[in-house]
């Protein structure tokens, strides 16, 4: 019985990487990691042909099998929709690499962190070479892109800025950006949530792990804040440090500043050259995104302009939607990238 429909024209290999870098990570999460590699229709018929590759990053709480989820009736999953584009010849074929960077807190934000592990390095130094060694990619940055939604969009932006030698294009859908817009309203609400837990996020965390997850309204909000704290602001021993006082909501500047260092809007000036080197940048977000990532998208585009990125490199769109059920944007961006990256 197959995970994919009968008319699936390409193929998805479900692989496992034994990561050296994730071995002994602080949370005791697995170092053997699943990886899905999609090869497009025709891949086996043209054994000499090489393809651009796009690394696909998951959003917060996402795990690899979610890519195959049936996203409600009347829609298709990202691999199925993208495969159909290739099969119909509407976009030049590419290899897609679905990366797992899950942690016990729900995600890694694709950074190296003393709180979670070296997920940035894992992606750049282990996954990319592993794929290039086993699949017929065009193994250079001009034909390698990275894409994601939400936290995955953050990963696409920051990884491209940090490693322009590896990635020459990226797509971000409702990607984390403009941290005060994204987080402050949620911090404020979290303070109210925490009143039921004596102002202690770890009391909530113990409760959360003792029962069915996400049965309380505050669960996702508190989990996200705890997880990002683990990624961006772990203490010396790896314990997540919240960027605000859990009783008053007052920002803790020294902690909050560590979060801001990962804000793509604030990172852009220092990585202007990397950004100018990109061959293609897709940015989109929903007009009523619950994390105000539409403003994040606008601010990041603005930052690109000030960094000197040429306008025709960037494809920008705000679309009528919130933050969820927007997986249909992926195939649109992939088709656009495919045309830009085609050899």
Q: 147: closest CA among 48, 86, 67?
A: 67
Tell which phi-psi region holds residue 259, choosing left (phi > 0), alpha (psi between -120 and 50) or beta.
Answer: alpha
Q: Which residues pair with 317 in a beta bridge?
A: 284
What letters, b where the CB count within 10 A reaches 16 and e where it falls short, cover 101-116? bbbebbbbbbbbbbbb
For residue 121, which phi and psi values (nearest 5 degrees)? -65, -40
Which residues lie near a copy of itself (CB under 8 A)? 1-3, 12-14, 61-63, 65-66, 68-70, 72-75, 102, 106, 178, 180-181, 184-185, 188, 191-192, 212-216, 245, 247-251, 265, 287-288, 292, 294-295, 298-299, 302, 319-321, 325, 328
Quick one: 142 or 219, whose CB is closer to a copy of itself? 219
SS3 at position 297: helix
Quick one: 167 or 193, whose CB is closer to a copy of itself? 193
Q: Which residues pair with 149 in a beta bridge?
A: 173
Quick one: 1 or 236, whose CB is closer to a copy of itself? 1
Rounded distance between C-alpha atoms, residue 238 and residue 27, angstroms: 9
For residue 196, which phi and psi values (nearest 5 degrees)? -75, -10
Residue for token pair 């950074």 = 111
Quick one: 130 or 328, whose CB is closer to a copy of itself? 328
Quick one: 5 or 308, whose CB is closer to a copy of itself? 5
Quick one: 168 or 331, whose CB is closer to a copy of itself? 331
Rounded distance between C-alpha atoms, residue 207 and residue 337, angstroms: 44
Rounded distance between C-alpha atoms, residue 186 and residue 69, angstroms: 28
């Amino acid at each position: 019985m197959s995970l994919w429909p009968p008319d699936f024209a390409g193929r998805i290999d479900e692989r496992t990487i034994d990561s050296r870098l994730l071995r002994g990570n602080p949370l005791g999460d697995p170092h053997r990691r699943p990886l899905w590699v999609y090869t497009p229709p025709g891949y086996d018929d043209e054994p000499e042909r090489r393809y651009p590759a796009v690394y696909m990053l998951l959003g917060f709480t996402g795990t690899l099998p979610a890519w195959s989820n049936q996203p409600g009736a009347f829609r298709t999953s990202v691999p199925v929709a993208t495969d159909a584009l290739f099969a119909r010849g509407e976009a030049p074929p590419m290899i897609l690499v679905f990366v797992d960077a899950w942690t016990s807190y729900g995600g890694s934000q694709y950074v190296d962190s003393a709180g979670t592990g070296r997920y940035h390095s894992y992606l750049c130094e282990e996954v990319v070479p592993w794929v290039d060694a086993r699949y017929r990619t065009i193994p250079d940055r001009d034909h390698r892109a990275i894409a994601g939604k939400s936290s995955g969009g953050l990963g696409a932006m920051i990884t491209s800025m940090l490693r322009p030698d590896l990635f020459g294009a990226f797509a971000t859908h409702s990607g984390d950006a403009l941290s005060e817009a994204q987080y402050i309203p949620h911090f404020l609400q979290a303070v109210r949530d925490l009143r039921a837990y004596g102002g202690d996020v770890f009391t909530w965390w113990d409760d959360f792990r003792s029962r069915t997850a996400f049965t309380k309204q505050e669960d996702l909000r508190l989990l996200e804040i705890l997880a990002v704290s683990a990624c961006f602001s772990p203490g010396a021993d790896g314990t997540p440090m919240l960027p605000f006082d859990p009783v008053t909501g007052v920002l803790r500047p020294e902690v909050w500043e560590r979060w801001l260092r990962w804000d793509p809007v604030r990172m852009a000036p220092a990585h202007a050259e990397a950004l100018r080197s990109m061959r293609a940048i897709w940015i989109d977000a929903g007009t009523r995104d619950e994390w105000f990532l539409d403003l994040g998208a606008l601010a990041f585009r603005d930052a690109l302009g000030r960094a000197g990125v040429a306008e025709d490199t960037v494809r920008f769109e705000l679309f009528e939607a919130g933050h969820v059920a927007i997986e249909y944007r992926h195939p649109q961006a992939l088709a656009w990238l495919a045309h830009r990256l085609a050899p």
